[in-house]
Every structure is written in structure tokens, then in C-alpha cells.
Amino acid sequence: MSQVARPLTEHFPNVQQEVSRLAAMPEVRSAMQWFRDQEAEFARWQMDLARIPAPPFGEKARADWVGEQFRALGIKEVGKDKIGNVFGFRKGSQDSVLSISAHLDTVFPSNTPLNVRQQGTKLYGPGISDNAAGVTALLAIAAAFENFGLPHEASLLFIGNVGEEGEGDLRGMRYIFSDSEWKDSIRTCLVLDGAGTDTIVAEALGSRRFEVIVRGPGGHSWSDFGAPNPIVVLGRAIHLFSQTRVSSSPKTTFNIGVIRGGTSVNSIPESASMRVDIRSSSPAEIDRLDLELRRAIDLSIQEEEARTAQQRDSSRYRSGLTAEMVPIGNRPGGELDPNARAVQITRAVDAYLGNSAQIQRASTDANIPISMGREAIAIGAGGNGGGAHTLQEWFDPAGRALGLERILLISLALAGAGR
């Protein structure tokens, strides 16, 4: 997930007082005690959820399950939208909305053996941490508001959203902030993703991904020798693009992750393709690398055409080379104002809990609201996790209660719990 860490600076004393006041409220203290007593139930939720496959674009069963849990917790307004996000809504006294969300999807294809299990207190299974831990925290926080009648002025929108991972390309959040009935009223967006309590993602790592497809006339390796070769074009383009200079600050990266093409050893291929990932904390750098990639492909085609023209009787061989850059991912980047209320509140909560956390940059559901200039942060669900995006993924619930207390206090302060 995260890439760049920065130390925190001082928080504001009035926010600190407000956090202390909230934490001292009897109903809040009861909710916190409940978090500590409830681990067996949380582990059950987490394993039940992780046993439901949720590949990108296949989150329906998981969304249905979360909707059932919302209802079982007593939330009255529960629903789903057109693309499969599931909601639980608690009306507040104000029109503004605090959304608390966790993504439902995993990176694992639907036929992945899930083998979700508990050994000692640790939980194991693909997606157990990313993001069954986040969804479990979402349910625990919703339950706390329902069971203990916790105050909130802003309305609370609990969201299990689709499409965070890979080719999902943040489609769940995109929909919420472009088409949903709450798109204008969500004032702050709290994203729960993965385990831990040591980060505050307030900087959105932008990325752009392409499938580059080069096509040519193809032909026989012997009789058509000299005809332009899309694999050679790609090879040269990769060579050229790989020499692009990138800065370490703002950190900028690129990767050729997949390459495909050709049909047999004695055929000049008709097409070849590659998948390219470009990331940077600077949108301008992403634009620059996008241009460099286009230039490398154009130049490579020109060179292959020149070679073909030289090598063969060009009247006999039309070059016919084409290249296409198909966008397969576009995650907008951006940064939250370091003085934003959500950051100040989170720092104050961390100071109250004696928790140390750092501002980090990552690619999460918070990218969408942050890139729109809205207030959003992503934090972990507590506990510890590892092996994300592998079959060996694990979650250790030690410290889960701390994570839930942190989320709850941040939520209470963001929602404005009246005096």
C-alpha cells in the first residue's frame, strides 16, 4: 500500500480537548469496553466474510452479506446502488454526511481456494486482512453507534464498496462521488483499509495504466521475411521507454508488467501487447511519463518502418503498423491539506490513545474524494496483518480494540457529537 512516510507535526489543543471530552462520555466508554469483549464475534464476522469470494466485478454475494449484517445490527435504512455498493444509513441532525467505508473486493479470482481458518488467535486466508479486517471494523463501528446510542450531528453513511483493487479502478468510490444521492452531501470520507493503526493516508498516489497493442500485417517467417514485426516494435519501445529519467522526489515509477504476442515460432506476429503501470505523487510527472511512453512507441514504429522500407522492396510490403494505447486504469492523485480537520482530529485521537502514526501516501478509495478536493483519509482497522494479495495472508487481532477505539473517536469527532 503505502510508499512515502512523513513525521507528524503538532496538533491543535482545542481538537485535543474535544477528543478527550468525547472519550470520557459514558456511552463511548461502554462502546470501547464492548470492543474489548467482542473479539470472538469480530473474528467470526471476519472469517464468514472472507469465505465469500469477491473478485473484482464479483462482489455481489459479499455485498448481500454485509447488507444482512447491517439489518441484523438494527440499521433501518439499508440499500444497494446500481453498481453494487451496499449502504447502511443513520440520519443525523444535520444535512452533511460522514461516510465510513471499506472495500469489499479482493484481488483473488473466483476459483481461488480460500481455506479461511483460525490458528490460535491468528486468522489466515486470502483477503483476511485486505479487506475483511476493514469490513469487520465497519460493522463494529456501525454496531457501536446502534447499540450504545452514540451521538452524531452529521448523518452516518456506512458503505461496503465495490471495485477498489486492480482493474476495479476505484469504480465504487467513483460512482459514489459522481452519481449517488450523497455525492454532494458527503463532507468527510473515512476509508477503512487493511490492518494496523500506524498510518494516516492523506496523500493519494496517482497511477495510470495502459495496454499497448501493436498490430502489423504478419506473415511467414521465411517467405515474408522483412515484414514489420510488432514484437520487435514493442521490444524497441520498451528499450526506449526504460531509459526515461524519473525523480525520486516526487517519487515516480513505471513498470512493464505483462507482455504478450505472437502465435508460433515461424510466424511474423500480427500483434503484440504490453501492460504498463505509471505511478507518481505528482500528476505532472504522470503526464510526462504518459507522453514519454507515446513517444517511445511512435519512434519505435518509425524505426521499424524505416528498416522495413530499406530491407525490402517497399512496393511489395505495405508497412501497415499501428499502435494503440488503451487506458486500463486511471487513479487520480492529490493531497489533503495538512491542516484539514480530518488530519487534525486523527492526530489528536492518536495523541489521546498514545498511538504513533505517520502521514502516508498510498493508492486507496480515498484517491477519488481527495482528487476532487474533498476531505478524506484512509486508515487501518487495527490488529496486524501481512501477506496482502497472497494466499498466505494473515491477520493478528492483538491491538484490534485499539484500532476500533481510534476509528470510533475519529468518527465521533468528525460527525460532531453535540454537547
Rule CB under 5 A: is residue 161 a binding residue for Zn ion?
no
Residue entry with cell 522492396: 313
Rule CB under 5 A: is residue 81 a binding residue for Zn ion?
no
What burial class does residue 372 get, using C-beta atoms within 10 Å of its C-beta: 0-12 exposed, 13-18 middle, 19+ buried?
middle
Rule CB under 5 A: is residue 285 a binding residue for Zn ion?
no
- CB nearer Zn ion, residue 23 or residue 201: 201
- CB nearer Zn ion, residue 107 or residue 154: 107
Per DSSP, 95 falls in state S
- CB nearer Zn ion, residue 173 or residue 212: 173
Within 8 A by CB and 6+ apart from 57, the residues are: 162, 163, 167, 168
- CB nearer Zn ion, residue 193 or residue 198: 193
Q: How many CB atoms lie within 10 A of CB 145?
A: 25
User: ∠ CA(279), CA(206), CA(105), 5° rounding?
Assistant: 105
Q: Which residues of 269-289 are buried (b: 16+ CB within 10 A; e: fewer)?
A: bbbbbbbbbbbbbeeebbebb
Of 186-194, 243-251, 274-282, 397-405, which part binds Zn ion (CB under 5 A)?
186-194
Rule CB under 5 A: is residue 193 a binding residue for Zn ion?
yes
Closest distance of CB 134 from Zn ion, Å: 7
User: How far is it, in rounded angstroms, from Cα 271 to Cα 168?
Assistant: 26
The site that binds Zn ion (CB under 5 A) totals a number of residues, namely: 3
Closest distance of CB 46 from Zn ion, Å: 14
Closest distance of CB 298 from Zn ion, Å: 36
Rule CB under 5 A: is residue 59 a binding residue for Zn ion?
no
Closest distance of CB 164 from Zn ion, Å: 6
Of 33-41, 53-61, 191-199, 411-419, which part binds Zn ion (CB under 5 A)?
191-199
Closest distance of CB 38 from Zn ion, Å: 23
- Are the C-beta atoms of residues 59 and 84 closer than 8 Å to each other? yes
- Are the C-beta atoms of residues 336 and 203 closer than 8 Å to each other? yes
- CB nearer Zn ion, residue 194 or residue 216: 194
What burial class does residue 360 get, using C-beta atoms within 10 Å of its C-beta: 0-12 exposed, 13-18 middle, 19+ buried?
buried
Name the helix (H) or strand (E) containing 397: none
Closest distance of CB 386 from Zn ion, Å: 13
- CB nearer Zn ion, residue 101 or residue 319: 101
Rule CB under 5 A: is residue 363 a binding residue for Zn ion?
no
- CB nearer Zn ion, residue 155 or residue 360: 360
Q: Per CB under 5 A, which of residues 114..143 are in contact with Zn ion?
A: 130-131
Per DSSP, 218 falls in state -
- Backbone dihedral angles phi then psi of residue 225, each to the nearest 5 degrees: -50, 135
Kindly list the residues in this chain that would bind Zn ion in the complex (CB under 5 A).
130-131, 193
